[in-house]
């Protein structure tokens, strides 16, 4: 078996020109944010132009009160939630979390938690088409939302094509910067999701969005269209970034390499991972040599090499057994999440609006801030609005 990392996975996607697709309405834009409210202005502008509800999931330097005020000032219907104030058990605990909990591979971010919370709210609200949008992504053509929504009946996940800063791991950035071929793929930063894919979840690992694209065994039908612009960032600023990405990047690249070869998870054996890990480490070490021999400025070279050494050092701790155990746990999590979504749909009759969703999930008033959470039609029937309660 040819166990190696591939430079591109674009052949796994269906590609559509925006002019060739009939549009549809998007029900909501979900933004997991950790930056000050000013970073939400692009998402708010898109939501306003398209008349789409905005769900803002806030933590770190982002607060629900400031985020909701920013949306309200623009005349956009929105709900902002301080996720730090929520009951940790609101989103299920996964078997994959337990595998990594007391290891160096545990990921200290809340992006997956927020996206999974967004999926639960979407199910309970009765939304059919949503867009996950990161707060460092710009959408130059808001009409692309309608195009992406129009594809969701046939393709449960549709990524907007990134034409900005490439959205890659540190290792893949270095491969490109060293002069080698390296492509990008769709990701959670600008991802339209249809209700058929609400039964997928985001594991707490780097490349969580690639795992979301799968149904537990294979890649869901996935497409790309339109344009998204990833704002620039420095992938080499802190070598800990490369270290923290290595397990997720290894697993995702390994699995998608199988898909490229028309194989599946059944072939992701210990023998496969032994060969893939060897190839991954060879690629990183070869990239270090290419960087050192390149005309890249000395200071930048040093930072790139530090990051790559951090990645290969962490890779040495990844075993074929860990790869197999993680994927088995992830498959178990896929079943558990599907059961949870099925139960919510059964018990709540397919969803009854975002106001019902936050109440059904038990999200306290102290954790949420928003204006009228009902649809514009319902809002016209009643003049009263929900109280705006600032979080503490």
- Kindly state whether residue 253 falls inside one of the protein's structural domains: yes
Predicted confidence at residue 368, as pLDDT, reads: 87
Residue 219, CA distances (Å) to 3, 212, 244, 256 in order:
18, 9, 25, 9
- Kindly state whether residue 2 falls inside one of the protein's structural domains: no
Q: What's the token pair of residue 226?
A: 């339109």
Predicted confidence at residue 351, as pLDDT, reads: 78
Whether residue 137 has pLDDT greater than 70: yes
User: How buried is 150 (Cβ within 10 angstroms: 0-12 exposed, 13-18 middle, 19+ buried)?
Assistant: buried
Predicted confidence at residue 371, as pLDDT, reads: 54
- Kindly state whether residue 44 falls inside one of the protein's structural domains: no
Instruction: Report percent pLDDT > 70 for the chain.
Output: 94
- Kindly state whether residue 53 falls inside one of the protein's structural domains: no
Q: Average pLDDT for residues 293-301, to the nearest whole number?
A: 98
Q: Average pLDDT for residues 107-114, to the nearest whole number?
A: 96
Which pLDDT band holds residue 349 (cuts at 50, 70, 90)? confident
Query: Can you say how many angstroms the Cα of residue 239 is from the centroid of all Cα atoms in its chain?
Result: 22
Q: What's the token pair of residue 331?
A: 């498959």
Residues 225-252: tens digit of each pLDDT: 999 999 999 999 999 999 999 999 999 9
- Kindly state whether residue 122 falls inside one of the protein's structural domains: yes
Q: Which domain holds residue 332?
A: 10-27+86-347
Residues 179-212: tens digit of each pLDDT: 999 999 999 999 999 999 999 999 999 999 999 9
Which pLDDT band holds residue 382 (cuts at 50, 70, 90)? very low
- Kindly state whether residue 363 falls inside one of the protein's structural domains: no
pTM of the model: 0.93
Predicted confidence at residue 1, as pLDDT, reads: 65
Number of domains in the chain: 1
User: How buried is 181 (Cβ within 10 angstroms: 0-12 exposed, 13-18 middle, 19+ buried)?
Assistant: exposed
């Amino acid at each position: 078996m040819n166990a190696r990392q591939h430079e591109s996975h674009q052949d796994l996607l269906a590609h559509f020109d925006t002019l060739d697709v009939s549009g549809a309405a998007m029900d909501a834009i979900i933004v997991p944010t950790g930056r000050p409210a000013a970073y939400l202005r692009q998402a708010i502008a898109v939501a306003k132009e398209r008349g789409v509800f905005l769900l803002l999931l806030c933590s770190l330097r982002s607060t629900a009160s400031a985020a909701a005020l920013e949306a309200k000032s623009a005349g956009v219907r929105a709900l902002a939630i301080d996720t730090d104030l929520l009951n940790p058990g609101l989103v299920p605990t996964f078997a994959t979390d337990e595998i990594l909990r007391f290891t160096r591979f545990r990921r200290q971010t809340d992006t997956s938690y927020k996206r999974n919370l967004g999926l639960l709210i979407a199910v309970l609200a009765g939304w059919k088409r949503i867009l996950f949008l990161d707060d460092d992504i710009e959408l130059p053509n808001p009409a692309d939302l309608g195009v992406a929504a129009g594809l969701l009946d046939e393709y449960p996940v549709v990524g907007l094509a990134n034409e900005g800063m490439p959205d890659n791991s540190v290792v893949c950035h270095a491969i490109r910067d060293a002069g080698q071929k390296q492509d990008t793929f769709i990701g959670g930063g600008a991802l339209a999701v249809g209700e058929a894919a609400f039964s997928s979840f985001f594991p707490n690992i780097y490349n969580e969005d690639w795992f979301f694209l799968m149904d537990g065994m294979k890649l869901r039908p996935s497409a790309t269209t339109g344009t998204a612009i990833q704002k620039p960032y420095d992938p080499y600023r802190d070598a800990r970034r490369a270290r923290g990405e290595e397990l997720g990047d290894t697993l995702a690249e390994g699995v998608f390499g199988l898909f490229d070869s028309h194989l599946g998870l059944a072939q992701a054996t210990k023998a496969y991972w032994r060969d893939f890990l060897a190839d991954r480490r060879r690629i990183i070490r070869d990239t270090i040599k290419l960087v050192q021999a390149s005309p890249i400025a000395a200071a930048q070279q040093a930072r790139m090499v530090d990051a790559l050494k951090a990645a290969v050092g962490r890779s040495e701790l990844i075993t074929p057994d860990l790869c197999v155990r993680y994927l088995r746990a992830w498959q178990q999590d896929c079943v558990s999440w599907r059961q949870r979504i099925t139960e919510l749909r059964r018990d709540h009759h397919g969803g009854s609006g975002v106001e019902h969703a936050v109440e059904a999930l038990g999200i306290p008033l102290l954790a949420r801030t928003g204006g009228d959470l009902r649809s514009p039609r319902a809002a016209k029937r009643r003049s009263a609005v929900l109280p705006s309660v600032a979080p503490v």
